[in-house]
Structure 1
Amino acid sequence: MSTKPAGLAKILLMVAGLALGGLLLRALGAAPGTEWVDLYIRDQGLLGETLFLLAGALATAVGVPRQAVAFLAGYAFGAVVGVGVALAAQLLGCALAFFWAGAVGRGWAERRLAGRFGPHLRPVVETLRENPFGAALALRLFPVGNNLALNLLAGMSAIPAWPFLAASALGYLPQTMVFALLGKGVRVDGIWQLALSGVLLAVSVGLGLWLMRRHRAGRALGN
């Protein structure tokens, strides 16, 4: 019980930091990466959306944080279209990394799991194999963690693609909305977007914690 107040305090601190960061970026009038968006993406219609989709997918596939893709999509297209374009780019990048790892790196993963990295990676692999959808969803809802590492590990672990990708799409959605709203709030006078993004982040973290605890409780009862 003693960990609950500490966990809640961390979530509130994260929300406050997110809101303050958004206000600072809006006050400065610029944010990293917005220059090329202004030059090549904004006000270009379908061409701009297609270019952003391809660039965002490739960036996500090689390890650029998916939150940055969502932020720039919100900056370029607004909250609604930005969420759709960013989510499509993130999911395409996830699939690229997942299938590449399954085709190229599965033997590498098995050797590492049997070697010195085994104690760290094996529990994650076992959890994904037991419940690909539920485990991936819980992990995606956390605002921290390595998106690329999870994509590669899942691909190398021979889990079914569709549950993992479906859970990723659903788990990506809250933070994609958060950072797309932040991106729009930076471009326009959007205090309410910044406030809503903080609330959505808190909901995402809380749901991720609940799912993870439920999954662990289910495993304990099963044992």
Structure 2
Amino acid sequence: MPRQVVAFTCGYFFGVILGLVYATLTVTIAAAITYKVASLFQQSYIASKYKKQLTKLHNFLSVDTFLKALVIRLLPVGSNFLTNILAGIANIPLRPYIAGSCLGFIPQMAIFSLAGSGVKLADSAHIGAAAILFLIATIIGYHLYKTRKSELN
């Protein structure tokens, strides 16, 4: 289930604050469970078939895992389910991955919990929130790029 639906539903039933807390905990726990189940398949046919790609993914995400997971979660694109499966199969470090994911979930959880609770958000508020999330992700991405570039030199 998309995390936005979880946040909207929690906001509707529990209000903004509790909805935000419950939704964030729910999607974080779901991410950890999906990761752990996927990690059981590290030796599977799929993992052996795509070993080269998974090794590249592991090497990339194993450095600054927290920040990279945060950036991935701040961007409102992609599939959480697929991201968690790939992270589990690629054996990305669990704790920083889940911590970065949890923190990265919060902005969208807040927006959809507000919407679910009945608080009317103007279109400009949605656009502003999206712009801020994009700016934060860009800044962190640039930092990671510069750090990684200096490590390679």
* TM-score normalized by the length of structure 1: 0.61
Residue 128 of structure 1 is matched in structure 2 by 61
1:202 aligns with 2:135: no
1:167 aligns with 2:104: no
Deviation at 1:195, TM superposition (A): 5.3
Partner amino acid for 2:32? A
Deviation at 1:101, TM superposition (A): 0.9
Determine the C-alpha separation between the residues in 1 that align with 2:140 and 2:5. 25
Deviation at 1:128, TM superposition (A): 1.1
RCO (CA 8 Å, sep 6+): is it higher in 1 or 2?
2
Deviation at 1:112, TM superposition (A): 3.2
Gaps of 5+ in 2: none
Q: 1:72 to 1:198 in 2, by over 3 A?
A: farther
1:74 aligns with 2:11: yes
From 116, 122, 130, give the equivalent of 1:183.
Answer: 116
The structure with more radius of gyration: 1
Partner amino acid for 1:150? T
Higher mean displacement: 199-208 or 165-174: 199-208
Q: 1:210 to 1:124 in 2, by over 3 A?
A: farther
Gaps of 5+ in 1: 1-63
SS in 1 for 2:78: coil
Deviation at 1:173, TM superposition (A): 0.6
SS in 2 for 1:191: coil
Q: What does 1:1-223 align with in structure 2 at a 5 Å threshold?
A: 64-103=1-40, 105-108=41-44, 110-114=47-51, 118=53, 123-185=56-118, 190-192=119-121, 196-223=125-152
Cα deviations by residue, 1:50-97 (Å, 9 ceiling, x for unpaired): xxxxxxxxxxxxxx1111111111122221111011011101101110
Partner amino acid for 1:182? A
Partner amino acid for 1:203? I
What is the CA RMSD across the aligned residues, in angstroms? Answer: 2.0
Determine the C-alpha separation between the residues in 1 that align with 2:73 and 2:13. 24
* Preserved contact between residue 175 and residue 201 of structure 1 (Cα < 8 Å): no
Partner amino acid for 1:146? S
Corresponding pairs, count:
151
